[in-house]
Amino acid sequence: MLSSLGDEDFRDALGDYQAGVTFLQGQIDYFRTIVTTRPKIADFDYVYLEYAPGTVRQRRHVVEWDAAAADPDFLQFLLDGNNSMRAMSDWWEHLLERAETLCAQTGRLTGQPCAPPESSE
């Protein structure tokens, strides 16, 4: 589909961006699948919710850390969550880099600067 675009640098930037979006969408779908099958933090006996006025959801999780630290399943839960979020953050960062490259190539071809639109605020 992209082969008809005459400018190789633009074509490469567009293809890289599209590939990144496709990859990230697959990862989001995968994360949605695993989040429904893995335990929730509140499923652990030593984690409970506490009313917390002034917070976004008016609640917070309280962890009895001595019990939690002694449970390998809980520690694995934390590590899995951390690894997942770090991976997702890295993938988003790489996609942003691809978007910036595509924007720069588009700007080069159109003679327009690559800049975000003015905020309406």
Query: At which residue do the structure tokens 């951390």 appear?
Result: 82
pLDDT (tens digit per residue) in 68-113: 999 999 999 999 999 999 999 999 999 999 999 999 999 988 888 8
pLDDT above 60 for 114:
yes
| Alpha carbon distance 42, 52 (integer Å) | 16
The pLDDT mean for the chain works out to 90
H-helix or E-strand containing 47? strand 47-51
Q: How many CA atoms lie within 13 A of 98 on its CB side?
A: 20
pLDDT for the residue 113: 85
Identify the band that residue 1 occupies on the pLDDT scale cut at 50, 70 and 90: low
pLDDT for the residue 120: 58
> What is the residue extent of each domain of the chain?
2-108
The one-letter code for the residue type at 72 is P
H-helix or E-strand containing 73? helix 72-110
